[in-house]
Amino acid sequence: MWKRAAKYAALAGVLVFAGLQLAPSGERTNPPVIATHTLQASTDVPARVNGILRRSCMDCHSNETRWPWYSHLAPISWEMTSDVVRARKAMNISEWPTDRPARTIGILNAICAGVSSGRMPLPKYGMIHPEARLSEEDRKAICEWTSTEIRRQVGLRKKQLISQAN
């Protein structure tokens, strides 16, 4: 009796799971990477920082997302596609803004704040990808780089203001 109920429950579970797969899952896109538009093209990124960005950030914050097999399974797929869409909007390493220093400075500030507070990379990502978790030295290297880069961007912004004033 109970055995039969368990069988039906399992069958219902399988059907619900299969049904979920029919719902649209959002797009797993990787728009083309144009070498001249990347962060690395416009900025001097130290090798160590480059390695951290690639290991810990670029699955969400770039056009080079690795979409693993489970990214095709609802409901995980819904969450992953939505995370990547929101992450790319906030900061896309493949489409780094170069014409608006004020915006770039804002992003750089947010990078250091995000890694220092442990908000980035998202903790759930670190659970699946232990190699993406940041050490204290990683965080320090990131924030040293962002403050150097902010100083450079402030210089660019000043030049922009002066040329606008003339």
Q: Which is nearer to ligand HEC, 54 or 152 (CB)?
A: 54
| 8 A C-beta contact, residue 27 and residue 82 | no
Is residue 88 a contact point for ligand HEC (CB under 6 A)?
A: no
Window 3-42: contact mask with ligand HEC (x via CB under 6 A): ----------------------------------------
Closer by beta carbon to ligand HEC, 101 or else 121: 121
Could you give the CA distance from residue 48 to residue 145 in angstroms, rounded to a whole number? 10
The contacts of residue 159 (CB under 8 Å, 6+ apart) are none
Q: Which of 121, 145, 146, 150 touches ligand HEC by CB under 6 A?
A: 121
How far apart CA 22 and CA 16 sit, in angstroms, is 10
H helix runs in 45-135, sequence order: 47-56, 76-90, 101-117, 123-128
Least Å distance, CB 119 to ligand HEC, is: 6
Return the residue of 7, 28, 72, 86 that touches ligand HEC, per CB under 6 A: 86
59 binds ligand HEC (CB under 6 A): yes
13 or 51: CB nearest ligand HEC: 51
Of 66, 51, 59, 44, which is closest to residue 135 (Cα–Cα)? Answer: 51
CA-based nearest residue to 94, from 32, 51, 46, 158: 32
- According to CB under 6 A, which one of 45, 107, 141, 143 is a site residue for ligand HEC? 107
If one asks whether residue 149 binds ligand HEC (CB under 6 A), the answer comes out as: no
DSSP string, 55-76: HHTTTTSSS-----GGGGSTTH
User: Using the rule CB under 6 A, which residue among 56, 63, 65, 146 binds ligand HEC?
Assistant: 56
Q: Which residues form the interface with ligand HEC (CB under 6 A)?
A: 56-57, 59-61, 83, 86-87, 90-91, 107, 110-111, 114-115, 119-122, 125
